Amino acid sequence: MKPGIPLTLSALLLGSVGVNAQDLDRVLTYRDSDPFLFCEQGQDIRQAPLRCWMPVPPYTGAFVVLPHCQPVNPYGKTWSSDDTNSFRQYMTVCPVGEQPGRWNGPGRKDMTPHQH
């Protein structure tokens, strides 16, 4: 395992701070700035099929590093800038939220009002 990866993950976690609603559009650049979808699903799998992390319930900061990536797999994929940036945004935005509710809108939540 590369020695810098755990240190980088720790720095990302320690450097994360909460965000208020007014700052959300500046902080969250993934999933069309939709915190509900982003906190539940992370990066869009259609745009990042080999993402290195994903959220896990209760979607308020819990996550898992996927097994095809470092540091879990020492020979695995290194984190891309999108992996790092989206993870940083997840750790900034999602711990501030509460337990997400159920989707009650028409269609799929990632397709309403458009695909994101």
Q: What pTM does this model have? A: 0.70
116 within 8 A of 32, measured Cβ to Cβ: yes
Q: Distance between CA atoms of 101 and 104, rounded to whole angstroms?
A: 9
pLDDT tens, position by position, for the chain (116 residues)? 444 444 344 444 434 445 555 565 568 999 888 888 899 999 999 999 999 999 998 888 899 999 999 999 999 999 999 999 999 999 999 988 766 667 677 777 676 766 65
Number of neighbouring beta carbons within 10 Å of residue 31: 21
Q: Distance between CA atoms of 84 and 55, rounded to whole angstroms?
A: 14
Any residues with CB less than 8 A from the CB of 6 and at least 6 apart, and which?
Answer: 71
What is residue 77's DSSP assignment?
A: B
